Chain A
Amino acid sequence: MKRFLALLLTVAMLAALFCVAATAEELSGELVISVLADWPDETTERGKAFMDAVRAYEEAHPGVTITPQASSQQDIKESFQTAALAGGGPDVVIMDNSGHAIDLAAMGLLLPLNNFISDEELEATYQPGPLNSGKFEGVYYSVPWYMDCCGLYCNNDYLEACGLSVPETWADLENCLAVLKENGYGGIITYRSAYAFYSFFYQNECPVIDTTGEIPEVVIDNEAGTEAWNFICKLITEDNGLVESFKEANTWDKVYESFANGEATFLLGGDWCKSGINGVGTEVNYTITDMVEGKTRATILGGWTWNINVNTKYPELAYDFCRYISSPETYSVLKAAGKHSARTDWDVAAGLSEENQDLVVLGEQFPYTMARPAIINEKTVDEIITNAILTVVYGQANAEDSLAALAQELRDNIVSNYGA
């Protein structure tokens, strides 16, 4: 009996040793991760925290080397796409959750997450908006990292000078813009894209494009959509709502400059705008608050996700790193960056540092934050909507004509990407 027990113990120990060795073997290799340039930049607090987290992972997995590859926000998708189409590319890449992952999944360049984790577990772990931003044909492709949403930055001095308070509803916003205009103050600045304008459609319960069916359906010109569009056009034309810089705001720094230099009273943007505005160095006195309310409370989702290259030699390792970097183990990275995790267990107030407590108000919007329509070529859709807004800004079309043209162009786009 003793011999048998000794033999059994030996076998068990050998089996355990073998399992450990096998796991260690699985999680070994060189992983190249493509991230935005500010993440591996150790001269900043966020960069240092990120690289510390990377080093901690390497220390926990002796056979693993993680090499961050810096890319700019403008070309991270294109450079990954080109490399992956050629059969190469980084093993892991971060993507803006504005539909980029869906395009890459449609091209067959991303590994589906159901190879590593069940849908149920994903849905229990992450917020639905960021998770759905990486869902293509019913399959999840992206591990959500951090999320943000569009809020309202208000110039306190201008509002006070005009005897106004922070707007809370569409009517308040209209009134504010009218009074500001009378007193010679500028209106709204935001990025020249559809990003902030989606919020107005969502606040009027119009999803812009309905993606619940097999083929997406354009609903921007239904009753709710028309009402939202008319509201946007009224802000632009009658209330002189958008400042001159909006026309050239194809980068966020132009948005910050406009607001920080006092051209605009309101800025529509996410949590990243705070450091951008402060970076201009004009010491503008401002408040960060939630978006105005329409028929309902709603705002647009932003943020980034982790995605695995279909060409990776180390899929298990790649997934494990994605899981790790978006887990509570690395919340220190998000705290240093002033970002909200996209996990359901994230504590909005406790997760942010003391100096970023003014961003809590944006985190509190998450329950009613909605993602852009999850469709192929979202960037083209964004461009079509932006151009429709610009035709109104330039006075080339009225609200009715621009909406009709916009809806038709969106429908043509859906046909070209999904068939009839």
Chain B
Amino acid sequence: MTRASSRKTAQPGRRRNWPGYLMIAPAVIAVLALNIYPLFRGIALSFTHYNLVRPNTPIFNTFAGLSNYTKIFSDAKFLQSIGNTVKWTAVNLAAQLVFAMLLALVLNKRLRGRSFFRTMSLVPWAVPHSIAAMTFTFLFNANVGIINILAVKLGLLSEPVSWLGNTQSAFWCVAFVAIWKGIPFQMIFILAALQAISSEIYESAEVDGANQWQQFWRITLPIIKEPLAIATILNLIGIVSCFNTIWLMTEGGPLYSSEIIYTYAYRQGFIVHDLGTASAASMVLFVIMMLISTVYLRLARGDRGVSA
């Protein structure tokens, strides 16, 4: 077949696809407008002098080279926020993974009232971030918070403590809330994967003399590895970009002890009004997320290659 004749045969096919293109057009336009454009605008801004409160300076909206990046990397608060982001991610990820796994294993057993417990375990996930943050802020309150009242009554504390107001405890209190809220998301993925495992495999293993621990490590974990990895990576993105809980509970404080890169970028953008440095900080976060996603995708692809 010649190139001209193949073009002729391809054209009617393309025409037939127009309704399809039209149907996906709103979604494509939405993605381009709300994701792709802001991403490229953000990249451009990170290399631009864009201090909103100095629009009349000659350098405003001009190419800044790497100066925004130099500025943030020489800022002790940004370096502290990187350290906090790493700590925040590690703590949240590890705790959510362990507790979600335990919860999924328990809810996968034949228990009385299993449906009720499964529904109840999803409640934290369904609670909006703002409501959760407000509720826990109230619970941690130094004056009227139930945690302090109980701790003092039980003799664990001599006087109430401002949990969210102290540099040593604020980070951990906010992390606790994020963990509490994040567990159900991870758990539901693991539970779905566990339910797909045939009970016959476990029965065979039992016949072969494998105990519960061996069954978990040799059967359960290898089978659910892939959905677990997907859930983990999705969860990781949510953890790194967690903003609402931190901002509503501590605003990244006190003394930036709970400041992560996301809150730092927000502070630069909306309090300092420097969109250039705010975008540079966001780009650092974006690069970290890209690296994590790339590593995950390579691992996932490698796994599929081996199994094929």
Q: Which residues of A contact B (CB under 8 A)?
A: 78, 81, 85, 103, 106-108, 192, 244-250, 254, 257-258, 261, 263, 376-377, 379-380, 383, 387, 390-391, 394, 396, 416-417, 419
Q: How far is the CA of A107 from the CA of B141 in the complex (A)?
A: 38
Convert B13-54 into 0s and 1s, putting 1 for each residue whose CB lies closer than 8 angstroms to a CB of A.
Answer: 000000000000000000000000000000000000001111
Do B143 and A394 touch (CB < 8 A)? Answer: no
**Which single residue of chain B is at the shortest CB-CB distance from A379?**
B271
Name the interface residues of B158-197: CB closer than 8 Å to any CB of A.
Answer: 159-167
Query: Whole-angstrom distance from the CB of A216 to the nearest CB of chain B?
Result: 13
The minimal Cβ–Cβ distance linking B262 to chain A, given in whole angstroms, is 16
Known: A257-B141, A394-B167. A244 touches B160 (CB 8 A): yes
Out of B159, B254, B273, B274, which one reaches A244, CB within 8 Å? Answer: B159
The total of Cβ contacts below 8 Å across the A-B interface reads 80
Q: Does B11 contact A (CB under 8 A)?
A: no
Beyond the given A245-B165, A247-B165, A254-B141, please list 8 additional residue pairs across the A-B interface where CB-CB is below 8 A: A107-B273, A248-B164, A249-B165, A257-B143, A258-B142, A376-B53, A377-B272, A417-B53
Supposing A246-B165, A247-B165, A248-B164 touch, asked if A107 and B53 sit within 8 A by C-beta, the answer is yes
Chain A binding surface SS class: helix
B162 and A103 contacting across the interface, CB-CB below 8 Å:
no
Report the separation of the CA atoms of residues A246 and B164 in the bound assembly, to the nearest whole angstrom.
Answer: 11
Q: B254 contacts A247, CB within 8 Å?
A: yes
- Report B-chain residues with C-beta under 8 Å of the C-beta of A107: 52-53, 55, 273
**Cβ contact within 8 Å between B53 and A245:** no
User: How many residues on chain B are close to A (CB under 8 Å)?
Assistant: 30
User: A377 contacts which of B141, B159, B250, B273 (Cβ < 8 Å)?
Assistant: B273
Q: A78-B270, A379-B271, A394-B255 are in contact. Are A244 and B161 (CB under 8 A)?
A: yes
Chain B residue with Cβ nearest A387: B255
Confirm or deny: B144 has a beta carbon within 8 angstroms of a beta carbon on chain A.
Answer: yes
B162 adjacent to A383 (CB under 8 Å) = no
Can you pick out 8 interface pairs between chain A and chain B where the beta carbons lie within 8 Å of each other?
A108-B55, A244-B162, A247-B162, A248-B162, A249-B165, A377-B273, A383-B271, A396-B255
Kindly state the separation between the CA atoms of A108 and B61 in the bound complex, as whole angstroms.
15
8 Å CB contact of B141 from A78, A248, A391, A417: A248
- Within 8 Å CB of B162, what residues of A? 244-248
B251 interface residue (CB < 8 Å to A): yes
A69: min CB distance to chain B, Å: 19
B171–chain A nearest beta-carbon distance, Å: 14
Q: Across the interface, which residues of A come within 8 angstroms of B163, CB to CB?
A: 248
